[in-house]
A and B are shown apart, each in its own frame.
Chain A
Amino acid sequence: MDLDLNVRKEGDHSVLEVAGEIDVYTAPKLREQLIELVSDGSYDIVVDLEKVDFLDSTGLGVLVGGLKRVRNHDGSLQLVCTQEKILKIFRITGLTKVFPIHSSVGDAISAPAT
């Protein structure tokens, strides 16, 4: 089990593509990557979860932490996800009201700032 992270720039946004399983073992790697992005001045981040097979509460906590960090810089953290099993976790926890969740990276990037 591993977590693969890939970062690329698309315009003013940093797109963080996540692949694998996000749990208590792998979530620190995602947390470090988000901290590094913000430290490097990336305040508008799109996290692409389309290749994520599993997400637990630790992963949710890391994403909430990332959102807090970018908001400290008036930035944004948007998610891309169409997988029902992952969306269900966001819905149950009420985090669909916290995160803008899009069906594609293009939609996320072109979405108006909230």
Chain B
Amino acid sequence: MDAEAGGSPATVRLAFPPEPRLLGTVRLVVGTVARKAGMGAEGIEDLKVAVSETCAVAVGDLHRAGRQDPIEIDLLEGPDRFGIEVRDRAPAADQIPGGPGDGEVDDRSLGLALVGALVDDLKTATLEGGGNRTSFWLRRGPEPPDPLPPPLT
């Protein structure tokens, strides 16, 4: 899923500076657009968690790298599903001094694992010139009958 490479055009495109206080606004926008696109309540909550976790990782990496490059988000409305693509210009995590988190729990790994458990077709790629592209989709309408995925631990 790459809107700029000829994929689905973005329904909404937003960009925001890597400030943790703005994640609530991002969730609000994602929730509103997904609802208008016909996503169910559970799907909307899953998308909000997934996009917030993805952006939180990018915000943390950019902060630790001392960078202020904006994070870009495309919200994509497919025929029967809703997609999100997040792009950031953060260096690779192993090239950022200081390491993630405050040592209590590895929030970064936990957050990315949460995203993988909540959404479909999760893809991550490195951007040319540095940075990351993360994309995922969720089916629109009724949830499939499958039970919850098994716990991560």
Contact = CB atoms under 8 A, between A and B. Distances in A.
B5 interface: no
A86 to B, nearest CB: 9
A8 interface: no
Given A91-B148, A93-B114, A94-B151, A56 B104 contact: no
Nearest to B23: A23
Interface size class of A (residues with CB under 8 A): 20 to 34
B20 A61 contact: no
Interface in A1-43: 1, 21, 23-25, 31
A62 B105 CA distance: 8
B118 interface: yes
Interface size class of B (residues with CB under 8 A): 20 to 34
Contact of A91 (B27, B101, B104, B151): B151
Contact of A89 (B21, B49, B56, B104): B49
B59 interface: yes
A61 B101 contact: yes
B64 to A, nearest CB: 13
Contacts of B45: 85, 88
Contacts of A93: 110, 113-114, 151-153
B21 A25 contact: yes
B142 interface: no
Nearest to B27: A54
Interface in B76-117: 101, 104-107, 110-111, 113-114, 117
B140 interface: no
B151 A60 contact: no
Nearest to B116: A92
A68 B101 CA distance: 16
Given A24-B56, A25-B20, A93-B151, A60 B105 contact: yes
A88 B42 CA distance: 10
Contact of A24 (B25, B60, B151, B153): B60
Contact of A56 (B52, B117, B152): B52
Nearest to B55: A24
A106 interface: no
Given A61-B101, A61-B104, A93-B151, A56 B24 contact: no
Interface of B: 20-21, 23-25, 27, 42, 45, 48-49, 52-53, 56, 59-60, 101, 104-107, 110-111, 113-114, 117-118, 148-149, 151-153
